[in-house]
Amino acid sequence: MENIKKDQILGSRRFSNYWWATIVFLGSVSFFLVGISSYFHRALINFITDNNLLFLPQGAIMTFYGTTGILISLFLWYTIFLDVGSGYNEFNNNEGRVTIFRLGFPGKNRFLKLEYNIKDINSIKIHIEEGLSPKREIYLKTKDKREIPLTKIGEPITLEEIEKKAKEIAKFINVNIEGI
């Protein structure tokens, strides 16, 4: 039997983040160019032929929205480039340790590494919240009542998958499951 189990965690490099970063960037550049076009009273891009747009107030507002959107998209691309949130969960029965590793933003907390003794783990907790934005998460619950998330954030997981994953982890480190 394998005594080390390692689960990779996908960070910000997922399709939806690439999609939204691209859409926000393209829309923002369009707003910015329309606003600047109204300032110079000439079309900077071919599909804009309406010269009746006044710079104050419409053009200035569009330039502001475009600039803000470009900054937001640059932030999204920055998080994708750094792969914020990625990492792994390692369950090591040889050493009796659980290691949770995640990447963050640059600085003194760029690398988050939490280590726990398996004997200090009370259970694996499943938290399910249904509704408009459902939450289905797995937590590592320690004997001192701390709950450390083990699942990916923002990625929908079916009930069957989350139960299977929680059972697999609980069986591997020989602890109980809460919340089923």
**Per-residue pLDDT reduced to its tens digit, 77-136:** 999 999 999 999 999 999 999 999 999 999 999 999 999 999 999 999 999 888 887 888
The closest alpha carbon to 90, from 105, 102, 108, 80, belongs to 102
pLDDT category of residue 158 using cuts at 50, 70 and 90: confident
The answer to whether 148 and 159 have CB atoms below 8 angstroms apart is no
Give me the residues paired with residue 98 across strands.
91, 116
Domain that includes residue 117, residue range: 87-178
How far apart are alpha carbons 118 and 141 in whole angstroms?
A: 11
What six digits make up the tokens of 176? 């109980």
Residue with the bigger pLDDT between 95 and 46: it is: 95
CA distance 58 to 50: 13
CATH of the domain at 125: 2.30.29
Of the residues 47, 82, 117, the one at which a domain ends: 82
For 67, the enclosing helix (H) or strand (E) is helix 60-82
Contacts of residue 67, Cβ cutoff 8 Å, sequence gap at least 6: 28, 32
Q: Could you tell me if 121 and 134 lie in one domain?
A: yes
Give CA–CA dist 76/172, Å, rounded: 37
- In a domain, residue 3? The reply is no
Residue 8, pLDDT > 60, answer: yes
What is the arithmetic mean of pLDDT over 149-155? 77
Residue that has been written with the tokens 């994708």 in this structure? 80
Q: How many domains are contained in the chain?
A: 2
> How does pLDDT run across 95-109, given as a tens digit for each residue?
999 999 999 999 999
User: Residue 19 — very low, low, confident or very high, per pLDDT cuts 50/70/90?
Assistant: very high
Question: Greater confidence, 111 or 1?
Answer: 111
Q: Is 120 among the domain residues?
A: yes
Both 50 and 92 in a single domain? no
Can you give the pTM of this predicted structure?
Answer: 0.84
Write the CA distances from 4 to 97, 148, 173, integer angstroms: 10, 19, 10
